[in-house]
Amino acid sequence: MQLTRGVQECLLALLMYDTAAAQQVRAAVDVSAFDTYYDDFAKACIAFLNDFDAAPGEHTSDILDKLCERQPKNADFYGTIYDAATTTYEGGFESEYIIRSAAAFGHHQAIKEALSRTLDEIEKDTEDGTNEAKHIMHDVLRKCAEVKTRNELLLNDPKQALQFLAHESSAMPTGIPEIDARDGGPKRKTLHCFAAPAKCGKSWWLANLAKHCMLGGLKVAIVTLEMSEILYAQRLIQAFFSVSKRKGQNLMRVAFEKDDIGRYTSQQEVEIGDRPSLRDDDIEAVLTKMISKTMKNRPDLRIVQFPTGSASVRDIAAWLDEKESLEGFIPDIVIVDYADLLELPDPKQLRQSLLQIYTDLRGLAVKRNIAIATATQMSKEGANKKRGDEKDAAEAYGKVAIVDALIAYNQTEEEREHGLARLLAAAMREDDGRYEVLISQAYAVGQFALDSVMMNQQYWTDMTPEEDDE
């Protein structure tokens, strides 16, 4: 194990600017674990913390000046480290995961050293040696247990117990106001799932999530198991810029009227208007300009393809470790398209294997303090219902007990013809559950949801007036 350069910069940023986190870093990591020059900065920040019980903050520049005065030949190195750590802090990152990684590294180093000393004592082949070996192991395990991470919370302490008040909405955006207002999007340490019949927009939903999370300032990783990363990029470009596949399409969409509390009152079809087409002669130049303008200064969105049916949750974790180690990329949300296509731990036990996959994905979300969003296919029975719900998750209803949120996609043939669909918040562990949102869609230009409104009975009256009259 080692502390990567990216993690070191994050740890230094916390030591410089975040008092509470700096105290945890001080307890978790020996400064000798930092690279050359980084360790000088870390020692100086910890010395400040010890003296004043606070992170240096604005006084970090004074620390930089003193380091440069002591070692003028290393001034450029210190300046670069200061700039990198400050930029990292201002850009934002997930401090809990960084501290946990540092604590794991500290534990690893401490236990490795303790094992070496323990073996030396055991090799003495004496009672005193055995007793000393016990003391060594006891001490290291006690020290590891004393390193407090942010997973712990003391309810007796009002500051800790009421932290939730400072996080009114921890959900990531979906781009659908009715869902976002109820915190129905993915959250850190949770598994968010979208259930839909075959060929009914699971990937479009996940692309929509990726789009709105990126626009919301979040780093996104997409693991695709069904299509190549190149084709996935096409869908995302369509989603971001409303690009059609073909020229000359007469595109329409449905717009909704709402009452004072946001419920459906009526609908009308309106023209979408001319949109760029992937077959336009100048489309590469047009999209290059759009991407350069829209994606500038946005957080990273990365797409990676894994082979269908032969990639595991462990493979995803290894890829995330690689991206963090080599490039410093730590996503806020990982989108898996989709979980049912991961490698089955035991192909002979389909349902148990699927439950294990979902359990492992949720465990990965908790361990890395990220959100994971995926999709699952509805059973044939659910697909044929007017209103499928959580009971219709294909192959393993037990998935619903594992996921933290499940949104079910429903659409009749008539709705499909009009570009309409309904989203049922069917199983929401933390939020208001069992509400239904009507959306208008235009997959022809990559749009999962162009308009949305809360459902009510008036909608069915408008859709099937003759049946209701009878």
Residues 420-447: pLDDT tens digits?
A: 999 999 878 876 567 999 999 999 999 9
Q: Which residues, including other chains, have CB under 8 Å from residue 153's CB and lie 6 or more apart?
A: 160, 161, 163
Q: Which residues, including other chains, have CB under 8 Å from residue 161's CB and lie 6 or more apart?
A: 153, 154, 155
102 near 3, Cβ under 8 Å?
yes
Query: How confident is the model at residue 356, as a pLDDT?
Result: 92
Q: Which residues in 262-419 belong to E strands, given as ranges?
A: 264-271, 301-305, 333-337, 371-377, 405-410
Nearest-CA neighbor of 421 among 383, 395, 393, 392? 383
Place of tokens 């296509």: 341
Q: Which residues in 307-410 belong to E strands, given as ranges?
A: 333-337, 371-377, 405-410
**76 half-sphere exposure, CB direction, 13 A CA radius:** 1
Distance CA 444, CA 238 (A): 9
Length of the chain: 470
105 near 2, Cβ under 8 Å?
yes
Query: How confident is the model at residue 364, as a pLDDT?
Result: 93
- Tell me the DSSP string of 72-131: GGGHHHHHHHHHHHHHHHHH---HHHHHHHHHHHHHHHHHHHHHHHHHHHHTT-SHHHHH
Query: How confident is the model at residue 157, as a pLDDT?
Result: 80
Q: Low-confidence residues of the chain, pLDDT below 70?
A: 1-2, 142-153, 166-169, 248-249, 379-397, 431-433, 465-470
Within 71-94, residue ranges assigned H as helices are 75-91
Query: Can you tell me whether residue 440 is helix, strand or coil?
Result: strand
Query: How confident is the model at residue 46, as a pLDDT?
Result: 93
Pairing state between β 420-428 and 436-442: antiparallel
Distance CA 104, CA 28 (A): 8
Distance CA 1, CA 106 (A): 10
Q: Which residues, including other chains, have CB under 8 Å from residue 245's CB and lie 6 or more apart?
A: 238, 277, 278, 279, 444
Q: Which residues, including other chains, have CB under 8 Å from residue 324's CB and lie 6 or more apart?
A: 4, 6, 7, 330
Query: How confident is the model at residue 391, as a pLDDT?
Result: 58
List the structure tokens of 446.
Answer: 């990559």
**112 half-sphere exposure, CB direction, 13 A CA radius:** 8
Place of tokens 């870390």: 42
**CA separation (Å) from 76 to 14, 71, 304, 399?**
22, 10, 37, 54
Q: Which residues, including other chains, have CB under 8 Å from residue 75's CB and lie 6 or more apart?
A: 67, 68
341 near 313, Cβ under 8 Å?
no
**Inter-helix orientation angle 60-70/38-52, to 10°:** 130
State the distance between the two ends of the chain, measured CA to CA, in whole angstroms.
72
Q: Which residues, including other chains, have CB under 8 Å from residue 242's CB and lie 6 or more apart?
A: 272, 275, 442, 445, 446, 447
pTM: 0.69
Handedness of CA 332, 338, 342, 347 (dihedral sign): positive
Query: How confident is the model at residue 322, as a pLDDT?
Result: 84
Backbone angles phi, psi at 303, to 5 degrees: -120, 130
Q: Which residues, including other chains, have CB under 8 Å from residue 80's CB and lie 6 or more apart?
A: none
Name all domains of the chain by residue range, CATH numbers in brackets: 5-146 (1.10.860.10), 177-469 (3.40.50.300)
Query: How confident is the model at residue 148, as a pLDDT?
Result: 47
